[in-house]
Amino acid sequence: QFCQHNGVRDISQCMKAPVVMSLPHFYLGDPEFRTYAQGMTPHPDLHTSAVYIEPQTGTPLKAAKRVQFNMNLRRIEGFQMVQNISEGLFPLVWLEETILLSNEALLPVKLPLIIQWAVNTACLVLIA
């Protein structure tokens, strides 16, 4: 049912429940998903997964993984309790895992960069 939509993945077959996975607040998802629940205001800095890498050494400095689980609410024939619900994706919970390297862990990365900067600066001073 959700194969034609951007930003969501139907995991109901794996979970044996009507669960659909997305980025928080349906970030990068079709705009229609944000109309079902109030307060959906996606923001790239807050609702996307990312890895920040030091460019010279390739060391990952910070990482964030964010995911939202939604229930696909729909009417079920013969089940009166859900006959009056609005059908759509209802956000249940969103999870965030982040990691940030401590200063102690960054020291082996920083030290060679500082030495490289000092050597380059000394060479420029000697040439001038």
Q: How many residues does the chain have?
A: 128
What pLDDT, on the 0 to 100 scale, is given for residue 58?
Answer: 80
- Extract the tokens encoding 26: 């349906």
- Extract the tokens encoding 59: 């060391």
The CA-based dihedral angle spanning residues 84, 74, 15, 68, taken in that order and rounded to the nearest 10 degrees: -90
The tens digit of pLDDT for each residue in 27-81 reads 999 888 898 888 999 999 999 999 998 887 788 889 999 999 999 888 888 888 8
**pLDDT surpassing 70 at residue 117:** yes
Q: Where are the domains of the chain?
A: 8-101
Mean pLDDT of 74-99: 87
Measured distance between the N- and C-terminal CA atoms of the chain, rounded to whole angstroms: 68
